[in-house]
Structure 1
Amino acid sequence: MGTGGGVVMGSERDDTPVLITAAEPSHDDQHAARKRKYITMMAMRLPCFALALIFYNVWWLALGFLLLSVPLPWIAVLIANDRPPRKAEEVSRYQREPRAIEGGDHQVIEG
């Protein structure tokens, strides 16, 4: 005797459909966004070097731009490798209304 709804008795897997209206972006989209962040951060390093060359006469300003460019690769890697936090909310599952003639609360008489 089979069960309705695609549920297998004795199995811990729940095969009911998951509502995906508030689903997270795909892994490919997340990866592309992290790559864009990394490229942007590393691209900010080039103007720092250029500004240090432009202001080489003002040693403290040139040194400031160079010191600013030193931690940028480390920061870029940390930001690029950081995934968005996972949501700890419960999965929203489709609940269909029972359409049986008889309710589920009745006494069973075994013979």
Structure 2
Amino acid sequence: MKKQPVLITDAARSQDDQYRSRQVRYVTMMSLRAACLVLGAILVSVRPPLLALWLVLCAAGMVFLPWAAVLIANDRPAKTKAERAAAAAQAAKPQATLPQHSADDVEYLTIDVEPTGDGARWVPAEPRQPEKG
């Protein structure tokens, strides 16, 4: 029997392990679908009481099991207790917000330059004084 190593990390399972477990679940569910088909064929030949009910159940299994198998095979693994606790702690922390200011309260720095007469070099323009009143 293969012995599982001791888990000493909170890292997620490897992608190969996740893929393998999804394959096993998919094959198991599709095997149940095949069993429903075989059971339906046996029931038709035996003709037990309530045959219509049994055939409806087998048909429902043959229709819904592939759908469920694909959904389950494509699902991510369930979160561990540690992952759920970390998500809850993150949600409980209040988000830091920036102080709100109106547009009138904020002073903006404007950089203004004007070209010289020959256009080869740019020199800064004289600073403008704010208008009063």
- State the TM-score, normalizing by the size of structure 1: 0.56
CA distance in 2, matches of 1:55, 1:63: 11
2:118 aligns with none
Structure (1 or 2) with the larger CA radius of gyration? 2
Q: How many residues align?
A: 71
Choose between structure 1 and 2: higher strand proportion. 2
Higher RCO by CA contacts (8 Å cutoff, separation 6 or greater): 1
Q: How many Å apart are 1:79 and its aligned residue?
A: 0.3
RMSD: 2.0
Q: Does 1:68 align with 2:61?
A: yes
- For structure 1, which runs of at least 5 residues remain unmatched after alignment? 1-19, 91-111
Percent identity, please.
41
2:73 aligns with 80
Corresponding letter in the other structure for 2:33: R
The 5 Å alignment of 1:1-111 reads: 21-56=9-44, 57=47, 58-85=51-78, 87=83, 89=86
Q: Which segments of structure 1 move beyond 6 Å, counting only runs of 4 or more?
A: none
Choose between structure 1 and 2: higher helix proportion. 2
CA distance in 1, matches of 2:55, 2:42: 8
CA distance in 1, matches of 2:78, 2:56: 37
